[in-house]
Amino acid sequence: ESKNTPGKQRQRARADGKKRRNLVVKTIEDLLGDHVTVLACTLDFDDGSIKQPVGSDDDSLFPKDGKEAFSSWKPHLIYVEGGNTFWLQHCIEKGDWTDDLLAACTGNDAYAVYVGKSAGAIVAGSRVDTATWKGWDNPAVVPGKETYGDWNGCRGMSFMGPNASIFPHYDDESWEVVVQEKTKQMIEEDGDDVTVYSLHEWEACCIGGEAREVFVVSGDQ
C-alpha cells in the first residue's frame, strides 16, 4: 500500500501517464515525419477534463472537455494506459464513456483506432474480471466494489465480440494453469464460445474491420 496521500498518488499517476503518452506521440511523429503535426491531449475519465495538450500553443485547436473531444475534435488515435483496472472501469462507467469509445472506434462512422495497454486492454474485452486473476490490482479503490468477488462477471466494452476477453502480462510458467482454470469457469458461465487472449509482453491483440477479425501479432521479445 502506498503511504502517499490520494492527491499525491493522482499527481504521480498523471505525471507517469504524460511520459508514456509522450512516448506514443514521439513514435507517431517518427513514423509520419516532420511534415505532419501531431496534436495530443489527455482525457481524465474520472472528471472528464482535458489536460496536458501538446503539438501547438493555440488552445483553440484542442477540445475543452472530454465530451467535446468525442463529439467534434474526433482524434484519430485513442490510447488508454494501464494502471488499476478496477478504477479505470469505474471511471468509464461513472462518466458514461463506453458509448463514446464504441462510437469512435467501431461501426461505419468510426474515426479512431483504439489502443489499450494493460488495464486499457482488459476493459476493451468482454469481461473485466480477468484483472482479478493475478491479484495485482486492488479493487478497494472503488467504493461498493472492494472485493474481487464484486467484480465477477463485470462486462467490458466487448470490442472483439460478446465473449472475448484479454489477459495481459502473460507468461506460461506463472499463469498457464490459472488461465486454464479461470477460462473453464468462464465457459461454464457464458458458454462454449468464450475466448481469452493471453498476451505476452511482446504481443498485441488486433481487431480488424466490421467482421471483427481478431489476430495476435508479436514484436521483439
- Angle of helix 98-105 versus helix 85-94 axis, rounded to 10: 90
Separation between Cα atoms, residue 89 and residue 69, nearest integer Å: 19
Reply yes or no on whether the pLDDT at 1 is more than 60.
Answer: no
Q: Are 81 and 114 in contact (CB under 8 A)?
A: no
Q: What is the pLDDT of residues 106-131, one digit of tens each?
A: 988 999 999 999 999 999 999 999 99
Q: What is the pTM of this model?
A: 0.92
Distance of CA 97 to the CA centre of its chain: 12
CB atoms inside a 10 Å sphere around CB 20: 13
- Name the phi and psi angles at 195, rounded to 5: -130, 135
How far, in whole angstroms, is CA 174 from its chain's centroid? 23
Indicate whether 7 pLDDT > 70: no
Residue with cell 484519430: 76
User: Which cell numbers hold the place of 26?
Assistant: 514521439
